[in-house]
Structure 1
Amino acid sequence: MKTNFLTLLSLTLLLSVSSCTIDINERTGDGETISTPGTTTGVLPEGGKLSGDITKDLTVKKGNYVLEGIVKVADGATLTIEPGATFTVSTNVSSSLVVLQGGKILAIGSAAEPIVFSTTAKVAGGWGGITVYGRAPIKAVNGNATAVSEDGNALTYGGTDANSSSGILKFVRVEYAGKKIGDGTSETNTFTFYSVGDGTILENLVAYKGTDDGFEFFGGTVSARNIVSYGNFDDAFDWQDAWKGQNNSNWFAFQTVTGNFGMEIEASGNTDNTAPKISNITLIRDANTNPEVAGSTEISAIQFKKQGSGIFSNVYVSGYKNLGGKNAYAVLIQDDATNNSQVNTTPSKVVVSPLNYVNSDNLGVWGYAATNGGATFTNAATVTKVSLPTGAWATVDGVDLLTALK
């Protein structure tokens, strides 16, 4: 009886284990991909290809890998990426890494061994970057609690859990993103966060030379610390849908060659919004940097529009010069409605102070593109540039991206 019982138990366990599969692709010697079944937690083999839907927990260890196609981390699955993992992203197909609502990413690198996503061609716009969907609240146009994403996935986002977690992104660098989508005139951002909750940790991230924004937040409550937007074609930092992260610090943007606003801020027209808070911001515009569209007015450091708000402290701005007859400002209030409902309130929901605005035009003046209002400010000599840890995480092809902070 004991022998029969053990046999039956062994058979039951065998059937139980073999019925579970995970979406792991392993490259064979001739380049063919095969799936690796047999466990609820898998490890991507060294040199393997990350592709398709990740429906079970998957770990990627230190090493070199390929990311191909739209890779989606499904609800209930966790993608864990260890320090030193490097992904070469395929550009012959539309590729991106998307964490869906309920999915998690634990990409935890280090200053010496960051997690890197890049392309062989090293040309901006090669792929779609990293997009994370969470379950935190948003306020879209007309105060709507949900909206449809504009990243090409056309997914509904928005939720009710402000404290929700989509995981951890730490010491991660994303290069050459900004794949064109839709009608061919729009691009994805390098990092995009849709309704992500403040249980998510975003620290020490680099967005390098993408064709759209470096970082964009669509509502949600998540905060980000020690983030670098370098050489992105559109805005370094952008948000809408009443994003309201409260614990942000150490944001650095270096705009070079092509770049629009340092920060583009809106709340999708919602007067009733909670102003995000960011301490320590450095925005530097390199000489000979031009907006994407010749003659554009998108050359100011910080723009508020459509009821956008923000409480910013210790802000250092340099290099924002008038261009082609257009004026560049440290702070630009784009419309009367924003000025009335966000700036001229008590207390104001648009605060940029202390601010040191140097090597730029229109020193000491906030710009107003609309008709009412106007403000001057005194440069605060006590403000210094953001301080960030050095290391491989912020070094590309031997170039230290933090040089401008020294």
Structure 2
Amino acid sequence: MKKLVFSLAIIASIFTGCSSDDEGTAQPVVGEITGTISANTTYAYGNYTLKGIVKIASGVTVTFDAGSTITANKTTGDNALVVLNGGKLIINGTASQPVVFTEASQTPGSWGGIIMYGDAPIKAIGGAVTATSEDGNNQTYGGTNAAHNGGSLNYVRVEYAGAKLADGTKENNAFTFYSVGSGTHLDHLVAYKGADDGYEFFGGTVSATNLISYGNYDDAFDWQDGWQGQENSNWYGYQTVKGNYGMEIEASSNDNAFFPKVTNVTLKRAAGTTPETAGAIEIDAFQFKKQGNGDFSNVVIEGYGDYTEGATVYHGAAVKIQDATTNTAQVLTSKIKITNAKISGTTQTTPVGATVDIIVAFPANTFTTSTTATGASSLTAGNWATVGTTNLLQ
């Protein structure tokens, strides 16, 4: 009987939670999270195991209290936390007590990260207003609900994600947002050492503030399908060991009248960083292709220099335009703007084309440099931006 009472008390504590005032002294709850969550649930401050593709059903709100750690283990198979359209994820981390999603082996690419679906507008290939997710979950995304609300993520760190799920061809990132709307709150997030992108947006209207992308193998930031967030600020990308573009920007070959806006951007590439895959020379700070566009201001670019592979030396660029169509339809019409940019340690400091046939000439005042840009320097170090003894704000 005593064992039964004790077990019930532990289960009750998972769902009743504890106040933030108690977290410094309370013992963390221990539990497992698996399957589809079909009822509103609060996970109290604790240490949890995430097992399998955990889905938050439509109409359901799941909350994590500050200071919690959620650990996946690749030996159990595919793992990810998925917010289905209509579901909400509320993560109440703080600067001193972030909520950390990690993986037991600490190997990049070991799980699927956080994936959120909505029904905000997209423009996919061919101008399609809906599409099927490429993450192995085969979810339809896209719609007309620009204000879609998938919850509130505050002070969240996702580590070692970017897994190829299921058949090995479906890739994920640390944070993946499919047609997520402007009613969703994303603030103080960290994508740490994943095997794909730190953040990827597939259309939608959501904005994000105070982001760190550290040591991710593909791009620090990536989007497509007509993402159009307008209130983005303080984005910090640091590429080390392996990494492709600081930002890979495309619009699924649609010439959109709109474009996203990001202020206060820092993109750094550590010395010795190599592309993810040999032969794929993706070493530039900003890359625009397939009609990608955007307005970026107060930008710091550092360290995108030469890279040697075999007998060939490749020259890193601050801005590269990948195809002639993007140059004509986006650059020349002023739908790509990079202003107040401070560039150092980078070989090609003026925008260039991927081939000699693409002659890039930004219209007046759409590409400007300065020596006083500060980028994302207002980000504040702390537990949320520290892994072990490493301060991620290099």
Partner of 1:358 in structure 2? 344
1:163-200 Cα distance to aligned partner (Å, 9 max, x none): 11000011000000011135425531110000000000
Within 1, Cα distance between the matches of 2:354 and 2:230?
Answer: 28
Partner of 2:379 in structure 1? 388
Deviation at 1:292, TM superposition (A): 1.0
> Residue 243 of structure 1 aligns to which amino acid in structure 2?
W
Identity, % of aligned pairs? 52
Q: CA RMSD in A?
A: 2.1
* Change in 2 beyond 3 A, CA 1:303/1:317: same
Partner of 2:172 in structure 1? 188
Deviation at 1:263, TM superposition (A): 0.2
Which of 184, 190, 195 aligns to 1:206? It is 190
**Does 2:64 correspond to 1:73?**
no
> What are structure 1's unaligned runs of at least 5 residues?
1-27
Within-5 A mapping of 1:101-120: 101-120=85-104
- Which one is further off, 387-396 or 207-216? 387-396
* Change in 2 beyond 3 A, CA 1:302/1:168: same
Question: In 2, are the aligned partners of 1:42 and 1:57 still within 8 Å (CA)?
Answer: no
Within-5 A mapping of 1:143-182: 143-182=127-166
> Residue 303 of structure 1 aligns to which amino acid in structure 2?
Q
Within-5 A mapping of 1:221-260: 221-260=205-244
Within 1, Cα distance between the matches of 2:348 and 2:142?
Answer: 39
**What is the TM-score normalised by the length of structure 1?**
0.87
Greater C-alpha radius of gyration: 1
Within 2, Cα distance between the matches of 1:143 and 1:295?
Answer: 31
* Change in 2 beyond 3 A, CA 1:62/1:69: same
> What are structure 2's unaligned runs of at least 5 residues?
18-27
Within 2, Cα distance between the matches of 1:60 and 1:159?
Answer: 31
Partner of 2:318 in structure 1? 330
Q: Which runs of 4+ in 1 moved over 3 A?
A: 41-45, 375-379
> Residue 74 of structure 2 aligns to which amino acid in structure 1?
T
> Residue 327 of structure 1 aligns to which amino acid in structure 2?
H
Within 2, Cα distance between the matches of 1:393 and 1:225?
Answer: 14
Question: In 2, are the aligned partners of 1:295 and 1:326 still within 8 Å (CA)?
Answer: no
Partner of 1:374 in structure 2? 360
Partner of 2:43 in structure 1? 60
Question: In 2, are the aligned partners of 1:124 and 1:210 still within 8 Å (CA)?
Answer: yes
Within-5 A mapping of 1:310-321: 310-321=294-305
Partner of 1:272 in structure 2? 256
Question: In 2, are the aligned partners of 1:267 and 1:273 still within 8 Å (CA)?
Answer: no
Partner of 1:6 in structure 2? none
1:72-125 Cα distance to aligned partner (Å, 9 max, x none): 000000001111111111222210000000000011200000000112211111
Deviation at 1:379, TM superposition (A): 3.2
Within 1, Cα distance between the matches of 2:283 and 2:268?
Answer: 12
Within 1, Cα distance between the matches of 2:152 and 2:290?
Answer: 31
Pairs aligned (count): 367
Question: In 1, are the aligned partners of 2:73 and 2:105 still within 8 Å (CA)?
Answer: no
Partner of 1:341 in structure 2? 329
Within 2, Cα distance between the matches of 1:362 and 1:332?
Answer: 9
> Residue 399 of structure 1 aligns to which amino acid in structure 2?
T
